[in-house]
Every structure is written in structure tokens, then in C-alpha cells.
Structure 1
Amino acid sequence: MSVEEKLKTIVEFPEVRVVEASAGSGKTYALAARYIQLLLNPSLKDDSQSIRSILALTFTNKSAFEMKARILEFLKSLAFKKMNDVELKALLDPIGITEEQASQEAFKIMDDLIRHYNFFQVQTIDKFINALLSGCAFKIGLTANFKIRTNVKEYLQYSLDDFIDQATNDAGFRQIFEYFLDNYLYLENRIGWFPKEDLLILVCDLFYQHNTYGFDFQESSIIPDDLLKAKTKILKQMYSLKEILPEGTHKVFRRSLDKFLEKSRRGFDIDSVSDYFLREEFPIKKGNDVSDVLEKSWDNIRTDLRQLCETESVSVFNPAIRIFNHVFEGFKELSSKNDVLFLPELNKKAGYLFDAEYVTVQELYYRLASRFRHYLIDEFQDTSTLQWHNLEKMTEEALSTGGSLFYVGDRKQAIYGFRGGEVGLFDSVKNNFSVFNVKNDFLSKNWRSHRHIVEFNNEVFSISNLKRFLKQKEMFELEKNKKDIVIFGVEDLEKVSSLFVTAQQ
């Protein structure tokens, strides 16, 4: 269905409107049209300055610029009555006004925009969070004139160097670094002369993870001795395996095993283990038999390697976490002293305001000099849990007072998982707000690609083709005698189908 057809749905408040749209189906158009409908809707005229009550959020400056341009283009077309009949009908019928009324209102809105352009709130989510923090800076230990910086690595390096200097005179701090070095040399089997460089990389990674997901780190109860014992056991098993290798064993595997055992006298890095151990079957040429003893030994090594991976994954960062927690304290002191905040920290800092109840929604609106009643969010599939946490109370307050939430996205295009993007929010948000008149729209008409490309896309992502592919995958795994075959049930197929529902154009 086209954008115009979707716009014809009657606009009622409060409302949560969820729009799923594939690439090229008119997401920016839909957002801009919604913005115009909110400005022109006669039922919303109680707000003396309606521009102030609408907040549109995007992920990039380019997207914000494009949305603003499209909104202004709409207003110009309405004011001078240059909009075609199809668009005009789709835009105005849901709010019940005529072209003449829309033209007069468009002129007034344009005049209002010129006089109060700063209230034209179409911006990136980071810019909005920055404005939010600026209004409440003193509550997070900063002045109203704090500066946003991007050179976070320099501050972390300074804080790490300071912690290392303190360790020369503090036995407790020195013990923490010895703990790290034991793990670095014997468990990870590193041989570098400059572990500080690797440590700085770890500290920076932990800093970004801390601010992406909003949680504090906790050390695992597993100690290095547990890992060392597990690795020693595996090495013994591999030595025993080497003694019973039969004729016909793959030469490449035999050489890789010899090389691995030669280098791994006391411990090893899990990444250095041969990829052959990923195979369920022992690597042997066709026509040669594998004895029961060898098969059992192979299975035991693979089982212990799997358990080691799981154990090490929750404990390998223990030394780095311990160092990070001390470095981070110094980092916070230095940042506060210089009155700076770093870009990756914005959402985490904003979260403090709501978690600790430092600020109410009403106070927040007072400090922003605006009260938003309508929220529009672009590329919602890439919104992180932390970002949504910072918007949730405001959107809930808006909906409870007759406002609206309008979000657009495509779950298939979720590409920001590495920075916390949570595609699951697409469904969970509308479920949590189910009492507020939730409506789902699907934009399925492609305005960007040629017909043959669209037809090819429709064939590839058709439900029948997806089911065929999944069935062939199951059959392939059965033929290969895979031990852990993934079987897709009816519920799984429904989830896959719902994910690709907007792929048909």
C-alpha cells in the first residue's frame, strides 16, 4: 500500500502509530506528512504554539535536514495550492479540513516558523539529549556551560597512567596489576613487551560498553586457577590424542596440532586452537576408520573446549574490570574538574536523571522551555534500550494527556546492534503502550527502484521462498548428521514471516 493510502487513516488521539517500511518506500515522506497533519489538525489548536509541542528525532544530521526540507516543501505547496489532488486528499481527509483552510493555516505556520525557528524541533537524538543535559547540568555535577568532547581516549589514557603511577606506592593497586599480568601472560599466552597498550584498548572498550548498555561491570566468581586447570587438562588430552593419531589423519591437522602443543607449554589463548576442533567428526581421509577410543577422546576435547569458552568468556575480563573501575573513578574526577562530557556518555548520563529521580517530566519541560505532546522517531529499529529509557517517561506523559507517538523503521535494516541498537523495541514499545490506541501501518510501495529489481526482491523474500530455504537447510543438516540441528517450528516461521512482511513491495 502506498504512503498516500496509509495517510488516509483517521488521526485520533491519544495514538501510537507504528510504521514499518522497507528502503525506498517513503519513510521521510510519511514522517513529514505526519508532522504537517499535527500542525494543521483543528483538534490540536488548543496549543497556542503547536510547533513547540512536536519533537521529531532522527539518527543523523543529514536525515534531520532532509525531514525539515520535506516539511517546508509541504507547507509551501499547501500555502500556494500547488499540491496534487492525490497527496492533498491523503493529507487533509484524516484531519477533516479543506484545501482553502490548509492554505491559510500553512501561511500562518510559515510565519510562525520564521519568527520562532528555534522551536522547529527536528533534530538528532544526541542533540536532544545534549539539550536535556544542559538544562539539568547541575544535577549531574556539571555547570550549565559544560563542553562536549570527543577525545575520550586521551582522558582514559591519562587516568590509566595516573593509576599506574599510584601502584608504585600502593601495594593493593600493584596487586591488581600483577593479577592482570598473570592473566595476560599465562592464560591468554601473550608475549608482548608493552601490555599497557593492550590494557588501554580494553579500558576504552569497557568504557564504550558501559555507556552503550548503561550497566556497571561485575567480576565473575571464577578465578584464574580454575581456567589454568581447565587448560592444563585440555593440553594433556591433546597430547594423548597426538599419541593415537591413526594413518590417514589430515596432514594439515597433524601439523597444526604439533605446532600448537609446541607453543602452548603452560597455557594458551583460545583463539589459537585449531579450527579443526569445530568439526564434529575427526579429520581423517575417506576409507580410514576411527577407533572408539579416538572418537571418545575427540568428543571429550571438543566438550571441554566448549566449556572453557563459556567459562573464560565470563571471567577473562575480571582483571581488566578491576583496573577499569579504578581508572574510571579517576576519569570522572578529571572530567568533572575540566567541566567536560564525552559524546558516548550522553545517554548514560541522561539515564541517571530518571533512574535516581533527579528530575520529573514537568521539571524537564520547564528547563527545556517546551512541552512536547507529539513524538516522531525515525529509524526506530536502531534505537537503543538506553535511548528509549530516556524518552519513555516523556512519551508516556504525552500519551496520557492526549498526545501521540509515531515511529518509523524497518527491522530488516537493524545495523547498529554494536552500539546498543535493540530491534526488539519495535514490538515491545507498542505492546507496553497498548492502551493508547495502537495502529500499525506498512509502507509497501517502492519509489526508488525499477520494476525488475522490485520483482526480484519480492521473489527472494516471498514467504514460500523463505520456507523453502529453511526446509532445505534442515534437510542439509540431517544429511550431514549434524548433532545440533536447528528445526524451525510454526511459531518460528511466523516470526520470520513477520520480520519480512514489509519486504514485499
Structure 2
Amino acid sequence: MEVEQKLTVAEKVRRDPNKNYFISASAGTGKTYTLTNYYIGILEHYEQTGDSDIVDRIVAVTFTNKAANEMKDRIVKEIQKKLSSLSESDKAYEYWKDVYRNMSRAIISTIDSFCRRVLIEQNIEAGVDPNFKIINELKQRRLIDKATQKAIQLAFEVYDAVESGANYGDKVGNYLYGLTLERSNRVKELLNELAKNTDDIFRLFDVFGSISEVASKIETVVMNWRLELNESKVSEKLLEIFEEAGGALRAFRTISLIAAEFYEAETLDNFEYDFKGVLEKTLRVLENSAIREYYQQRFKYIIVDEFQDTNELQKKIFDLIHTDDNYIFYVGDRKQSIYRFRGGDVSVFIKTMEEFEQKIKSGRTDYEMLSLNVNYRSHPELIDYFNYMSENTIFNSSIYESFSVDSNNSATSKRKSSTKNKSKSKTVNEEIAPSEGLDELLSIDDKIYVHEVFRLRYPELYEKLWFIEKDDKSDAAFSPDENEFLPGEIRRVNYITISKALLKENSEESDESEEAAGGEVTENLEGTDNAKNLSDMDDRELEAVYVAKVINSLVGKEMTFYEKQDGKFIPVSRKITYKDFAILSYKLQDIEDVYREVFAREGIPLYIVKGRGFYKRPEIKAVISALYVIQNPNSNYYFTQFFFTPFTDDVNRSVDNSEETGKMKNFHKIVTKYRESKEQGSRKSFFQCAKDLIDEGALPEHVVEIIKLVAKYDELKYYLKPAETLKLFVKESGYLKKIARYPNSSQKLRNVRKLLEQAMEFDDQAPTFFELTRLLERISEVQEVEASEISEEEDVVRMMTVHASKGLEFNIVFLVNNDRADKGEEKTFFPESEDGNGRYVYISQFLDKALKKFVSPRMTKELEKELRKLLEAEVIYDETEILRKVYVAITRAKEMLFVVDLKKKDKNNRGVPAIKYLDPHGFEEKIKVIVSLDEIESAIGSVVEPSRNETTLERSIIQPPEDLETNVDENLIFSDFTPMAYKRYISPTLLYGISDEKSEIESVDESSEDFEVAETISAIPRTNFETSKTKARLEALNSLLEKTSEITRGKRIHSMLASVTRYEQLERLVGDGVIPREILKVQILKTLFNESEKIFSEWRLAKTLDIYDEKSGERKSYVLFGVPDKVFLKNGEFYVVDFKSSALYDASPDVEHYVFQVKFYMMLLSDLGKVRRGYLVSVPRGQALPIDPPREDFIDDIVERIKKFEEMMSI
């Protein structure tokens, strides 16, 4: 049964490690095994010299920590085998013992970990703090969002100033404050470029139609392509032929570079890096010849795993270390390059293949290319399928031409033998409108043209995108047992085809039969394939029902599996379990909820791996909407969004249609009140109208309670940390009890609990409530896994994206969602210039949009083609990524594969759906096709009821909501804030109406501005261009982009000074130009920083105070609250320092307010210990105003001010 197969590649690299290798490794062909053999081969080579320190001269890089750990574990186990085979008296024993000991410091890591090592080792030359931080994706997105807003605002400041004849330099000063001198000068140079071509700014926004579209593209570039952007330019030919389009791209590049500077000011200049930032900094460090030579000599062997996932930046780092005196080992599979969306670039793999081929052709014997061709993962019948589909459909270069002929969405496409016939015309599918059919024809023609452009410009690279038999055809590692057994009539490869048209046809026939028989039409699915019921289902639910039916039919049945034992594949007969199954989808968005509900209904335990739905779950979105309404209750948009969530439910009523009807009636009252207020000339918000209705007794008690709760936390948000606000509001609103009444409440409760448990992270990412709501605008873009009551290790069906499945294997795979096509999103990329010595910046589909907006007298069809050849050739790498995703998906299967074909056309996408590349034409005899639910049972057999623990299912019995709420209270709510929640908070900024750097965290004034309408810059025809150059454009911009808290001078100071804990840090910030040099004149700061035992930054101080109210005859409780910038504890005494961005003149009324503010802080501190002195420090002037502690009667002054304030507020 076993096929004798020598692992020639593994043996070869082990025997001869002193070569440069490029190894193509198809799915399941033993890539890690070969890599391990290469590493061991290096160690064996140096056994001759006894140099066990060779471990320090090998660097192995992969792209996940899991892969790095697996690689190291395998190498260590091989070394242990070596030691076990030797006796202590053997000459080699000491060598391998030393090698084993040295493996603890072996460099086997991810690329970013390797780069961090370089930066730490070279921290002085690199100019980085060795304790630098790596920021997470959430913080990265938040900072990029802020940087992009600043950059766009700056662009329009320049536009407005130039068009009005003003000096834009006077307007941009605040934006540049806090940047280092070098970075500030770069931004000024970029602004000068914008000022020379202000028309470009208009053109950019005119092409894309809105600020949000442009902002989104800038954010993507700043996140993924900063280095490439900096080294690119706009095509001179584009500027010459089509000035408007070229100018728009030029503005895009310039504004993006400005955004990158702001982002790096917040990260790199504070010694914080994202993944790409670490790599870019390492590249810059290695460009230093002395440092580069050190690493070239240090590393003799460079091993790069998963090379198909690299990009040009990573390749440059490897190239800088690699010389003719050391060796590089690349291993990967271009067919599995599927991470282009996050920077992976298959072209790097293909171009490196070409480099190796050219070196070998030139006679270099130290370069060799090898292929791994034996699949050790999958059953031979599956391997036959993989080979056939790869060659004939997935990686068949003529498939696009066959699609241009195959017009009617059939499953049959032309193969290699017939694709040369291009004479047939494409007819429009009857279900498609003529215009849609034309659009599709044009789309396909464009695809063919792009292929032709690429083929002509890069013929060698183009050929490497497709099937290469010597690299891509795999052999099986074993022959199947002649007595192997499969359930029923199913095969190793199965297709499930679902046609709604057929279901409807059967439904109509069923109706006629029932009517003729005088019976009623049943919709019960039990035991029958009821076409009427199925035809009424949503497409995705229908697909999930079929998949669930197959799984339930297979579980518990006997099947032959193949297990590897002592290097041989042994057939093992056992029952199929849930954990044998994996469901793979290209995306989980819009389908994971459907599968969860269907599988729960069918009693199938499902585990979603890395689902992206957490922040989009209704119960989570409701909590987020609550935070939005607390941030700005006077926004009608936020109030409406919040009102129609479970927060406003009546917990004493059941969840049914009457609940929503009641809400609508109550909301109608609020809207009616709003209209009345407008008619009367007052501009009240929905929230204010709701409070008026409460006074009139017109709203039910449960609505009254929640409106009052919003009003309460509208004030508290400035004094509680965001996490505390979130937890307390959820608790007091009874939200957990309310959502416990809904279906699938167990999952909902777990998700909300998870959000509350994660809330502490929000305090780190967004220290104020204002910043929290800004953060939440980005949070849904970050992957977050749902809470689950079952783990992946249990007997569960796993569901995940194709991307998440890469590198994994599963016994039985379902490939679903195949009818969806890539949306053809606009992406920024960097095609090579004509001479090949540079790159251009370009956005896919940009030329088409520009041609619709502008008319260029120079543009002809021929010139347009030339531009497309120049700019659009590399679009092919994006277009072909769907092929590689299909290949990765099918090759995850070890024992059996099910491909689900939902016979439909997705009219929302212009791309080709994945199912097109899965057409089994020519392979039909080796697959089983299932077309109905009845056929599933007849082909597989009836369902076997497995014995399983019902508590693992979604429909399991859950804790009562009261118990859950009690647990949340105990675990997640800070009890010491509970009594404070019922008191009025008083801060010095509130009493004195101070508006400065502290106002955001100490003010309770709430803007009543309504943000219902977000204006955008409209697309104005060129003839009206002159009339559009007004400040109204800036006003429209500012209504869309609220200025962040960091852009003003004072807030920038506080942001930087808050993190200073040593005087040396302050000196460094001054040296970098971040903080004005004048601050070093304040000698007391040097003394306090250097001599204090403890330093507190933005310490939240609170003190309770009861005041007798003569009118009501009752005592009112207050909390005096303040946040001093710095508190120093020196010799057991407190010193308070508050920083200001304005000058401190005795005659200034502001100084009186500031002195009161500092005395307020000192009064609060006096309960904790002796307060020695306070200081007001003017940062830009270098002034320090000493302030003595307040007298005992200072509290009387506060009481009087509180009374006056309450009279003014009519409280």
C-alpha cells in the first residue's frame, strides 16, 4: 500500500547547506520538515570543526509566533535525537550538548521580532529608546484617524489661504506645534507643494466625491504603504496627458505624506512603533554601512519561511543582510499568497524566482531552485482533484478568456483545448438587465486587457502566476487502502448544488399537487425536502441548512481515516465526530450569525474562529450607541439610534411586536414635541423634548428612568473613567435583564460581559470620554473574537475564514459562500516606472473615475491605452488573489471536501465569483453531486443520534439573568464609585468657567449642536470652479471633521508632559523641539523632578461636601473634583504644579482663575497630607508663579460659588 518516496529535497539541503536555495512548496508537502532538515544540516556541517556557536550565526524568520515556536521545537527535538543516539564518550557528544544549550538563544522568530532585536542592539546608532513599545492595531487606527484628519484640515487651510490671497503660514502654526524641527520642516515642504497646485486639492475631492472616501484611502496608505509612498512619484506621462487626473493623484500623495508625518510624530518620536514602523526603522538602520556590514558578517545563514507572504520592505531587509559570503534559504508557495490586503505581495516571490533563475543561467553554482512535490496531508483522491483544478481552472491563464465567451452563468467553462476560440459572442442572461449585462461585458474585457498588458510588459513574471507542472503538481504519499470505507454514496470530493429556481419550480408543483389532493401545504422540514419552505429562505440560510443537514447525517457514521504512525499512513476506521468538520468562507461578515442560528436550531455545536462580528453584534452596538448618546445627548441622530435599543425596553413585558409598537408611540410623542418647539422658534433637541415630556408626565416610567439616567451620566462622564462609565451605565439601566429576554440570550449576555471585561483597555487607549467615542468610530474595523461558552478544543464544528485556515488542516472541509465575488475595491499600489528604476503611486479604477469627471483635450484612445499599460499592469496581482484563496481553501482538506454551489448571480459585485474557479468539468466521474435535502439522506443514510452533552449547545440552559447581573456587579463594577454616582460633581473649571487645556476633563458644559447632517464637498463642474473657492468649503469640511483635542497648543503641551517622570525626559523633549526650550528656565521643576520620592500625573482628586439648602430644608451632597497636572511628594510634603500655555501676568484676569484652580487642588490634597506649595508654570514663557496653600476659610468661598452656580443653573 505504501509508495516508496525519497525525500530528496530534504536530504539534499541537509547534505549541502552551503548554497542559496529557493524552494517552492505546495500545500501539505512537508515545508517545515524540509526547513528543519536544512537547519540540522548546518549544525551537522559545523560538527566537523566543533563550532557550536554557529547557532548564533543562523537567523530564521517566519510570520507567526506559532510557526516560529513550531520550527524551534522541531529543531530541538532533532538535536535531542542526536544526543540520544550518542554516548557521552563520543567525540560529537560535547558538540551536540553545547548546541542544545545554545538553542536557548537561537534566533528563530517573526520578522518584527528580529527587527526589534536589531533596533535594541543598535539603539544608540538608531536613536531609539531600547524600551520602545509596539502599539496594538486599535491604537494604530486611532492615531492614523487623527493624523488623517489633521492632514486634510491642513490641506484646506492652505487651499483657503492661497485662494483668498492670505499667508497660509500664519494658519498652520498650531498644527505643527510639538513636531520635531526636522519633521516640521518636511511638513512645510509638503505644504509648499500643495500651495503651488491648489487646484489639485479640489480635483482630488471632486474625483472621489466625498471627504470620507479620500480619508479612507489615505488611512490605508499610511497604515500599509508609508515607505513605498515616500519613494514613489506621480507619473510624468499622466501629468502631461491628463493634468487633472495627475494633479489629483499628486495631491493625494502629498496629503498622505503629511498624514504619515503626523502619525509618526505620535509614534516614532515617542518611541512607539507599529509592525511596519519597526521594519521601516530597521531598514534605515541597516542602510548605515557599518551596521550593515556587522550583520552581514554576523549571520552566515538566513532562513525565510512563508516567503510568499513577504513584501518589498521585508525583502529589502533580507537583501541588505545577504551577500556573496553568506547564504539565504527561501521557502514558500506563490499559490498560497493571500495576504495582499495587509501588505503581502506575491510579486516579491515571483520576482525572486526570476532572480534565482537568472543567476543559475549565468552559471552561479551556489544558487539552486527546488520543488516539494509529495503531499503528506491529503487523501490521494483529493490530491488528484487539487492537481486537476489547479492546472485546468484555478491557475489556467486562459480562464478569463473562457469567461468572456461563457455568458450565461452556467457551471461549464471552456478548458485549455477550446479557449483559443474567441469568435463566439456573449449573450446576456435573461435575469440580468441589459445595462447590467453590458457592464459585465466591459468588466471582463477590462480584465482581459489588463492581462494582456501584464503579459507584454512582464512576460517572465506573468507565466509564473499560472500553473507550472514541476512546481505545482503533487504526488500522494500513500496509496488508499482497497478496503477503505465511506458512508453511503458520498465520495472524497462532493459538490452540493442549491438552485432556488428549481426549488421554486418544485414548490409550485407541490402547491398544485396539494390543492388537487385537497390538502394543506405543510412547511415542516422534518423528514421531507419541502421545496416551498426552502425557496422562501434567504440564500445564506438555505446554504446553512444544507450544510447542517450533511453534518448531522455524517456524525456518528463509520469512515476510514488515515493516520501517520512511524512514517507510514495507516487506515483507521472510526466514527465521524463534530470536530472532524471545518467550514471555510472567504468572509464571515453577514454569514456567521446565520450559521450560528441555523446550527443552534439543528443542535450542532459551532465554534467561530476569529469572527469579526463582535463589535457589530446588536447587543454590543446597543452599548456603543449608549456611549454615543451620553457623549452628546443633544444629537438627534445618536438619541434616535439609542432609543430603539433594548435599553429603552420595559423589562416587565415580553419581547414581541407590541414592544416595538410601544416604542414607536413614545418616540412619536418626542418627535411631535420637537416639531412644536421648532414652530415656536426654539431649537430643542429630541433629548430636551423628552425631558419636557417627563415633566408633563407624558412618558411611561421605564422610558423616564432611562432618560434620567442618560442625563445623569451626561454630567458624570467627565469625572469617571470611560470604563467606569460603561460599567455603571449598563448596571443601572438593567440592560442585562433586558437582553436576557431575547432569543439566544446566552450568547448576548456573554458578549456584553466580554465587553465589560475588556473595558479597562479603553482607559489605556482613550483616557477621556471624548476620545473614547472617537475611538469607537474605528473599533468595528478591528478584529475581535466573540465570547463563547464552548472552546475550539471541544467536539465542535469549527467555522473560519480562508485566511484564518491557512497553515491548518481538517479532516472534512465545507467550502461555502462561493457565490460571492471580490468587490473590486479601489486599492493603492505602486507600479514600476518606464525605466524600471522607480515607482509611481496609483489607485486602481482611478483613471476611469477621472475620465468621468474631467475632459482632457490631449487624451486619445491610444494614449489612454499607453497610460493603462504603464499604470495598471500590476492590478493583475490583485485580480488573481481570489485564485490563490480558492487554492488555499480546498487544500485544507485531509479526508473529504464539500464544495457548496449556490446557483445564483451576485449582482452586487462585478468580480468573478469563486465558484467559477471550482467548476469540476472533466472531473465529474470522481465526485458526488448532491442537489436536494432528500438526496442527502438517501446518499448518506439517516441521522445517527450521538450521545453528547447538551450543555455545550447554544440552546443550553443558561444562568438566570438576575444571577448574571449579580456576577457582573461583583466582578466588574467599582463599588467606591457607586455612592459618588448620586452626587453633583464640582470642579474649579466649572465654578470659574475656565476654558483652557483642562476644560475637556473638568467641564460639564454640553454642546447642543446637532450633528444629524454631515455635509461633504460636492462634485462641482469645472465651469463653476471659480465660484466654489469660498470659505463655505472650509465650513463644510469642518462640519464633517471635528478638530481633535491634540491640535491646539495647550493640549499638545499637556499630552507630552503627562508622560514625563524624569527631568532627563523633559530635556529630551526640549532637545527634540517638542516642548519650548523656555521651560528649562523654571528651576523648581528640576528640583522637584530630581528630589521627589513620588510623582503623580493627572491625579484625580475628590472630596465630599454637604451643603444645607435653605429653600428645600435639605442637605445636598457634592463631590469636589479636580485633576492637577503634576503632584510631587518631596520630603513627605505635597507640591502641586499646573502647566499653562499662556503668559502669567498679575494683571491678567486669567491668572486669578488659575490661582483659584491650583488652590482648589491643594485643598483637595490637604486631606491626604501636608501641602507645601503650588506652582503655575507658563511653558512657552518659562515663568513660574508660586502659590501658597489656601486658608481655612477657602472652603467657604467654594460653598458660596456653588450656591451662585446653582442659582444660575436654576437647580
**TM-score bracket for the superposition, by shorter chain length:** 0.5 to 0.7
Q: Letter of the 2:9 partner, please give it.
A: K
- Provide Cα deviations, 1:323-346, integer angstroms capped at 9, x if missing partner: 223333333333344222221222
C-alpha distance 161-438 of structure 1, shift in aligned 2 (>3 A):
closer
**Alpha-carbon distance change, 451 to 12 in structure 1, aligned in 2, over 3 angstroms:** closer
Q: Which residue of 1 is the match for residue 794 of structure 2?
A: none
2:424 equivalent in structure 1: 479
Matches within 5 A, 1:52-71: 52-71=56-75
Structure 1 pair 156/103, CA: closer, same or farther in 2 (3 Å)? Answer: farther
Distance in 1, Cα, partners of 2:391 & 2:213: 47
Q: Which amino acid aligns with 2:313?
A: L
How far did 1:463 drift?
Answer: 8.1
What amino acid does structure 1 have at the position aligned with 2:419? K
Shift of 1:44: 5.8
> What runs of 5+ residues in structure 2 fail to find an aligned partner?
162-166, 173-190, 399-413, 427-440, 476-1211
Q: Deviation string for 1:199-236 (max 9, x for gaps)?
A: 442321221343364643434666799677xxxxxxxx
For 2:148 and 2:372, the matched residues in 1 are separated by 51
Tell me by how many angstroms 1:377 deviates: 1.6
Aligned to 1:207, which of 222, 245, 249?
222
Secondary structure of 1:454's counterpart equals helix
What is the match of residue 8 of structure 1? 11
Q: 2:382 maps to what in 1?
A: 453
If each structure's strand is expressed as a fraction of its own residues, which one has the higher value?
2
Q: 1:218 aligns with which of 229, 233, 236?
A: 233
Amino acid at match of 2:45: N
Residue aligning to 2:307: 380
Instruction: Say which structure is richer in helix.
Output: 1
State the Cα deviation string for residues 122-180 of structure 1 (Å, max 9, x = none).
11112111211222334444233322223223333343455537939863678959757
What is the match of residue 183 of structure 1?
Answer: 203
Distance in 1 of aligned mates of 2:58 and 2:89: 19
- What is the aligned counterpart of 1:148 among 134, 137, 145? 134
* Alignment check: 8 A CA contact 2:17 2:41 kept: no
Which has the greater radius of gyration?
2
Residue in structure 1 matched with residue 1100 of structure 2 by the alignment: none
CA–CA separation in structure 2 for the residues paired with 1:78 and 1:158: 56
The question of whether the paired residues in 2 share the 8 Å contact of 1:187 and 1:227 is answered with: no
Q: CA 1:3–1:316 in 2, change beyond 3 Å: closer, same or farther?
A: farther
Q: Cα deviation per residue 1:14-64 (whole Å; 9 max; x = unaligned)? A: 411222221111000111111112112256636341211211111111111
Report deviation, 1:75. 2.0
Q: Which amino acid aligns with 2:356?
A: K
Is the contact made by 1:3 and 1:26 (CA closer than 8 Å) also made in structure 2? Answer: no
Structure 2 counterparts to residues 75-474 of structure 1, below 5 A: 75-81=79-85, 105=92, 108-110=95-97, 112-114=99-101, 116-150=102-136, 151-163=139-151, 164=153, 167=157, 171=168, 182-183=202-203, 186-190=206-210, 195=211, 197-211=212-226, 213=228, 215-219=230-234, 312=245, 316-355=248-287, 357=288, 359-364=290-295, 371-396=298-323, 399-400=324-325, 403-418=326-341, 419-421=343-345, 422-431=348-357, 434=360, 435=364, 437-461=366-390, 469-474=415-420
Matched, 1:503 2:448: no
The 2-side partners of 1:201 and 1:102 are apart by 67
SS in 2 for 1:145: coil
Seen in structure 2, the aligned counterparts of structure 1 residues 55 and 225 have a Cα distance that, compared at 3 Å, is closer
TM-superposition CA deviations, 1:444-469 (whole Å, max 9, x none): 11111112112223344458996983
* Cα-to-partner distance string for 1:227-276 (whole Å, 9 max, x where unaligned): 77xxxxxxxxxxxxxxxxxxxxxxxxxxxxxxxxxxxxxxxxxxxxxxxx
Amino acid corresponding to residue 381 of structure 1 in structure 2 = Q
Aligned residue for 1:470, secondary structure, equals coil
CA–CA distance in 1 between the matches of 2:286 and 2:382?
A: 47
Decide whether the 8 Å contact of 2:22 with 2:369 is kept in 1. yes
Contact 1:21 1:444 in 2 (8 A): yes
Matched letter for residue 339 of structure 1: F
Matched, 1:40 2:44: yes
What amino acid does structure 2 have at the position aligned with 1:134?
I
Cα gap change, 1:101 to 1:454, in 2 (>3 Å): farther
**Is the 8 Å Cα contact of residues 113 and 120 (structure 1) preserved in structure 2?**
no
Distance 2:6 2:314 in 1: 28
Identity, in percent, stands at 19
Q: Secondary structure at the match of 1:472?
A: coil
Q: Distance in 2 between matches of 1:49 and 1:125?
A: 22
The change in CA–CA distance for 1:425 and 1:379 in structure 2 (over 3 A counts) is farther
Larger RCO, structure (CA 8 Å, separation 6 or more): 1
Alpha carbons of structure 1 residues 199 and 459: separation in structure 2 relative to 1, 3 Å: closer
The code of the aligned residue for 1:412 comes to K
Amino acid at match of 2:423: L
Aligned partner letter, 1:386? L
Task: Give the match's secondary structure for 1:423.
Answer: helix
DSSP 3-state at the match of 1:49: helix
- Is the CA contact (8 Å cut-off) linking 2:20 and 2:368 kept in structure 1? yes
Give the whole-Å Cα distance in 2 for the aligned partners of 1:153 and 1:130.
21
Task: Say which SS state the counterpart of residue 329 (structure 2) adopts.
Answer: strand
**1:200 and 1:428, CA in 2 relative to 1: closer, same or farther beyond 3 A?**
same
Change in Cα spacing, 1:160 to 1:444, as seen in structure 2 (3 Å) is: closer
For residue 188 of structure 1, report the CA deviation from its aligned partner: 3.1
Residues 10 and 33, structure 2, Cα contact 8 Å, conserved in 1: no
**AA of the residue aligned to 2:420:** E
CA RMSD of aligned residues (A): 4.1
TM-score w.r.t. length of structure 1: 0.64
**Aligned 8 A contact 1:206 1:324 in 2:** yes
Letter in 2 for 1:473: T
Preserved contact between residue 144 and residue 259 of structure 2 (Cα < 8 Å)? yes
- Equivalent-residue separation in structure 1 for 2:242 and 2:303 (angstroms): 51
Question: Could you tell me whether the CA contact under 8 Å between 1:212 and 1:344 is conserved in 2?
Answer: no
CA contact (8 A) 2:59 2:302 kept: yes
Aligned to 2:662: none
Distance 1:409 1:7 in 2: 14
The SS at the match of 1:473 is: coil
Looking at structure 2, the residues matched to 217 and 394 of structure 1 have their Cα atoms a distance apart, in angstroms, of: 24
Structure-2 separation of matches of 1:329 and 1:384: 22
Residues 315 and 500 of structure 1: is their aligned pair in 2 closer, same or farther, counting only changes over 3 Å? farther
SS at match of 2:374: coil
Greater CA drift, 19-28 or 384-393: 384-393
One-letter amino acid of the structure 1 residue matched with residue 418 of structure 2: Q
Distance of aligned partners of 1:66 and 1:218 in 2 relative to their CA distance in 1, 3 Å threshold: same
Distance 1:214 1:104, change over 3 A: farther
Contact 1:377/1:406 (8 A) holds in 2:
yes
SS of the residue aligned with 1:80?
helix
